[in-house]
Amino acid sequence: MTTENHKWLDDPADLNGELEGVSGLPLRHAARVLLINELGHVLVVKGHDEDNPSRSWWFTIGGGIEPGESPRSAAVRELLEETGIALDENALEGPVMERTSLFDFYVQPIVQHEMYYFARVNGNHALDRSGWTENEVGFMDDLAWLSPTDLNESGLEVFPQGLATIVENLAKNGWDGTVITVGLE
């Protein structure tokens, strides 16, 4: 599946009833990167709930797609902004996964449709948070390379659900061309 022939959702009703009762919520499109190093660790962000700072979680690198931007170009832009790591769009495989989620972002319920890309990197990459926006600084706490075991044993929520298994499979086998589709999470 390529991005060029992917049908983007224009309305939550396009999810065939999965979002029944939440129509009228903002719909945001996002692109994310599953960046895995030679040790099989994935680069993730630790964030917290601004309204409940005791609630923290790990999530993947990425964010909103800007007007006129392709999901692939958004993924590499977000990777650079959030980590300082520059990749060419051609280094990304996929999308390997797509997911739709419903969550609060700055106290506003949002429906987000995400495309996930996969890339491998070798060597030690210095991580740079200087590209974080004011919003990101407000809820993002740290960047870390975590193994699947680290993710499972962190004691924190991990998004998307099942990330440790997905990372383990990609690290071991690479991408087989199958797009994992996760419904409303």
- Asked whether residue 58 is domain-assigned, the answer is yes
Cα separation, 109 vs 89, whole angstroms: 31
Q: DSSP class of residue 89? A: G
- Domain hosting 39: range is 24-119+131-184
Count of domains observed in the chain = 1
- The torsion angles phi and psi of 16, rounded to 5 degrees, stand at 55, 45
With respect to residue 85, please indicate whether it lies within any of the assigned structural domains.
yes
DSSP state of 21: T
Report yes or no on 7 lying in a domain.
no
The answer to whether residues 33 and 75 touch, using CB atoms and an 8 Å cutoff, is yes
List phi, psi (to 5°) of 128. -130, 120
Within-domain flag for 18? no
The CATH number linked to 45 is 3.90.79.10
The answer as to whether 19 is a domain residue is no
pTM for the structure as a whole: 0.84
Residue 93, beta-bridge partner list? 118
How crowded is residue 157: how many other Cβ atoms within 10 Å of its Cβ? 12
Q: What is the pLDDT along the chain (185 residues), one digit of tens a residue?
A: 233 323 334 444 444 444 444 567 888 899 999 999 999 999 999 998 777 778 899 999 999 999 999 999 999 999 999 999 999 999 999 999 999 988 776 667 888 899 999 999 997 788 999 999 888 888 888 999 999 999 999 999 999 999 999 999 999 999 999 999 987 76
Q: Is residue 48 part of a domain?
A: yes
